[in-house]
């Protein structure tokens, strides 16, 4: 895979709490130079990020980040506001308490509420924190996400103590959602070798803050 081809898998990401507007401007400049698939930032940096990017690059915004323990109504409002401010993709964190309690109907309601709040033209990625879940929980969380309008399922925020993406999780998520739904691997992906391994396992997007290093090999 050439660097140009690999770049189209990357969501160039900056989610550090101490990030500044200058940092986001640099992120957008780098994204334009590398011609990645998307950037991923916090909602407070919209519409700044939207205005600095090539029209070919998507603007992904995290929602309910990083804990996922926000009220469903808050996630819906945050998502709608992000779209209003220029986000074209929403990366929402699920409420892990609902997953651990096997409250699948409630989890579905939360995801569906966000889906409705952003409309059909916005890509919705659902972050399940796969490293914190059993295989059975991963499968159920993915099924619920897809049933309630997710365009992607995503492994991790990169902020959970349990860790980030693994090959096993990506393979399991891909086998669960099938070919028509995206799988985003995120958390701890910092080398070309790891990125390629995730793609070979079934990832259709890679979330990373190390895009330049990955493309440089």
Q: Is 109 a catalytic residue?
A: no
Task: Please report, in tens digits, the pLDDT of each residue of the chain (217 residues total).
Answer: 999 999 999 999 999 999 999 999 999 999 999 999 999 999 999 998 888 999 999 999 999 999 999 999 999 999 999 999 999 999 999 999 999 999 999 999 999 999 999 999 999 999 999 999 999 999 999 999 999 999 999 999 999 999 999 999 999 999 999 999 999 999 999 999 999 999 999 999 999 999 999 999 8
Alpha carbons 125 and 145: distance in angstroms, whole number: 9
Task: Delimit the domains of the chain by residue range.
Answer: 3-216
Q: What is the pLDDT of residue 49?
A: 83
Alpha carbons 104 and 126: distance in angstroms, whole number: 14
Q: What is the pLDDT of residue 194?
A: 98
Which tokens go with 97?
């308490």
Q: Is 23 a catalytic residue?
A: no
Q: What is the pLDDT of residue 170?
A: 98
Find the catalytic residue in 75, 91, 125, 151.
Answer: 91
Q: Is 91 a catalytic residue?
A: yes
Q: What is the pLDDT of residue 2?
A: 97
The CA-based angle 167-177-142, given to 5 degrees, is: 80
φ, ψ dihedrals at 177, nearest 5°: -90, -15
Superfamily for 3-216?
Aldolase class I (3.20.20.70)
Count the neighbouring beta carbons within 10 Å of the beta carbon of residue 139.
Answer: 16
Q: What is the pLDDT of residue 48?
A: 87
């Amino acid at each position: 895979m050439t660097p140009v081809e690999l770049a189209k898998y990357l969501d160039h990401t900056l989610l550090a709490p101490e990030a500044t507007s200058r940092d986001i401007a640099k992120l957008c400049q780098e994204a334009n130079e590398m011609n990645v698939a998307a950037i991923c930032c916090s909602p407070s940096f919209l519409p700044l990020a939207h205005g600095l990017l090539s029209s070919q690059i998507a603007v992904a915004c995290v929602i309910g980040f990083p804990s996922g323990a926000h009220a469903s109504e808050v996630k819906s409002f945050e998502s709608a506001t992000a779209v209003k401010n220029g986000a074209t993709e929403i990366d929402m964190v699920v409420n892990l308490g609902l997953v651990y309690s096997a409250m699948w109907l409630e989890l579905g309601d939360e995801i569906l509420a966000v889906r409705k709040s952003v409309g059909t033209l916005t890509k919705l990625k659902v972050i399940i924190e796969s490293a914190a879940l059993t295989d059975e929980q991963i499968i159920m969380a993915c099924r619920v996400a897809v049933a309630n309008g997710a365009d992607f399922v995503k492994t991790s925020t990169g902020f959970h103590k349990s860790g980030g993406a693994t090959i096993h999780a990506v393979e399991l998520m891909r086998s669960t959602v099938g070919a028509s739904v995206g799988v985003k691997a995120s958390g701890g992906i910092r080398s070309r070798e790891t990125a390629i391994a995730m793609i070979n396992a079934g990832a259709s997007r890679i979330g990373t803050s190390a895009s330049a290093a990955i493309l440089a090999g």
